[in-house]
Amino acid sequence: MSSSAPHPQRPPLDQATTPYATALDLHAKRDTVNLMVPGHGATAAGLSEELGAFVGPHALARDIPPLIPGIDVGPDSPLVAATTLAAEAWGARRTWFLANGASQANRMAALALASRSRGDVVVAQRSAHSSFTDGVILGDLLPRFVFPSIDPARGINHGVTPDALRTSLAEAQRAGDAVTAVYVISPSYFGAVADVAGLAEVAHAHGVPLVVDGAWGSHFGFHPELPESPARLGADLTVSSTHKLGGSLTQSAMLHLGDGPFADELEPLLERAYMLTQTTSASALLLGSLDVARHALVHGGEAIGATLRTVETFREELRADGRFPVISDGFDAFPDIVAHDPLRVSIDVGATGLSGHAVRDRLAAEHGVFLEISTAHAIVAFVGPGKDPELSRLSRALFALAEGAEAAPEAADPALGSFPALPAPGPMRARPRTAFFARHELVPASEAVGRISADALAAYPPGIPNVLPGEEITAETVAFLQTVAASPIGYVRGALDPAVARFRVLAE
Ligand SMILES: Cc1ncc(COP(=O)(O)O)c(C=O)c1O
């Protein structure tokens, strides 16, 4: 399968079309004999009957392998046309369709930055997702952290201001760091949107590209009331978890290369990183879903507008009730937040007397309401663009939980008051890659404090590493990770066991 750049003589592309998905449809309707993989032969016959019942014969007929002429072979293929349409839709020079999530986009970005040969330091927002840490390890990058603003009352991270970035880059310069790029996250898990244009200006003034992890903002730019797509604001790379809120199938994602001062240099490096990270058998269903999702977003303005109104009505209901503060209503207090994602509702659930984790668990178990994220004090509801979920079920369930807490205050979560605050990271005492591959030993948690971690450990949700390989493990971090692990829906990515009872540390 080729992901080559668009052919220079290609006729103008039409956003009304879905070239790749349509090519799959046409192929599915052909009378073919499939003597190739996948073994189900694109039909629900024979031994594939159960699979056909599970995913549907329609999906099976489109689950075809790569390298089919007329679908994904050559620079004029429908697949290249689909990626070019996506680039245009998100305001990018070039877009890659990815089959391993925005995690792959983060690893690609890190590998491309590491192969710039301009330096190994990446000035990175500390609240980067663990897949970026994976990229740091793969590419042997050295992160110099710029810390996002923090809402101390709720223990949540927001973003980085252009001024904070300027200071961090100046410090890096004074320290003699060879900086290869800047890496920030926007929007945050709570929908806080950073000043991407301002950050791009600062990064470019220092001669380095800006990478925006926009995993949670793949719908940005598709309605006047939504924030703009980072690629249009000057981001050199935009990581996009299209499956999150962009409407494609889970696991499908995109990486956008902005049309900025670093595009010529980064494009071939990204192509190499793509080869290194993309499966050689990317699912046609996943890639096709990206084509279809792009088409739906481009033409979905009216439906997105309706969703925006529905979500605002829900926020109004919470405000009128008064017991459940809408966290984004307080975003003005944070200088790094210039906008927020209106399709996300972050709710302070203090009125329930329970942690956000317990509320999320009970909403799912008792009310069939499933939420994306919880923290000690909050839950975050996401509404897909163009969707109209029954938000009244969430408000009714929350009000019932609050009434339960009013009637029986003694039932409040005793652990809530002692839920540990998000810990500050320990000092970095070894390069992440060096620590990852170093000789290590496994020690009980009580002996891990003060030792250097060989692993990245990230409490989920939301998956921001609390410890990186090479960082010293602190007592606060151990307490935090163990508390999250013990909560009903928490788990720690990278932990050796579910209770985080042991740590992998560098041998002494
Ligand atoms: C900020 C951020 N970046 C990247 C990712 C990785 O996305 P994916 O799950 O599509 O691999 C996530 C996942 O939650 C994320 O939160």
Residue pointed to by tokens 């909403």: 363
250 Cα–ligand 1 center, Å: 11
Residue 410 confidence class, pLDDT cut points 50, 70, 90: confident
pLDDT, average across residues 290-302:
98
Q: Are strands 179-185 and 210-213 parallel, antiparallel or unpaired?
A: parallel
Residue 147 CA to residue 132 CA, distance in Å, equals 16
Note the pLDDT tens digit of each residue in 481-498. Answer: 998 888 766 789 899 999
* Helical ranges in 248-355 per DSSP H: 263-277, 284-298, 301-321
DSSP symbol at 445: H
Does the pLDDT of residue 3 top 80, yes or no?
no
Residue 321 CA to residue 413 CA, distance in Å, equals 22
pLDDT, average across residues 328-347:
97
Residue whose CA lies nearest to ligand 1 atom number 9: 101
pLDDT, average across residues 430-456:
97
241 Cα–ligand 1 center, Å: 6
Is 448's C-beta closer than 6 angstroms to any atom of ligand 1? no
211 Cα–ligand 1 center, Å: 14
Residue 392 CA to residue 369 CA, distance in Å, equals 11
Is 129's C-beta closer than 6 angstroms to any atom of ligand 1? yes
Task: Let me know: does 71 contact 79? Beta carbons within 8 Å.
Answer: yes
Tell which residue, 258, 364, 247, 333, has the closest CA to residue 298. 247
* Domains of the chain (ranges, CATH numbers): 74-298 (3.40.640.10), 301-418 (3.90.1150.10), 432-506 (3.90.100.10)
Does the pLDDT of residue 25 top 90, yes or no?
yes
Q: What is the mean pLDDT of the chain?
A: 94
129, 218, 341: residue to mutate for ligand 1 pocket, most atoms within 8 A of CB:
129
Is 253's C-beta closer than 6 angstroms to any atom of ligand 1? yes
**Close Cβ partners of 27 (under 8 Å, ≥ 6 residues apart):** 62, 64, 68, 70, 71
Residue whose CA lies nearest to ligand 1 atom number 16: 129
Note the pLDDT tens digit of each residue in 377-397. Answer: 899 999 999 999 999 999 999
Tell which residue, 248, 267, 251, 264, has the closest CA to residue 3. 267
Is 109's C-beta closer than 6 angstroms to any atom of ligand 1? no
Question: Which atom of ligand 1 approaches the CA of 103 most closely?
Answer: 11
Residue 419 confidence class, pLDDT cut points 50, 70, 90: low
| Cα 74 to Cα 4, 37, 66, 70, 80, distances in angstroms | 8, 21, 12, 9, 8
Question: Which atom of ligand 1 approaches the CA of 106 most closely?
Answer: 4
Q: What's the pLDDT at 312?
A: 98
| pTM of this structure | 0.95
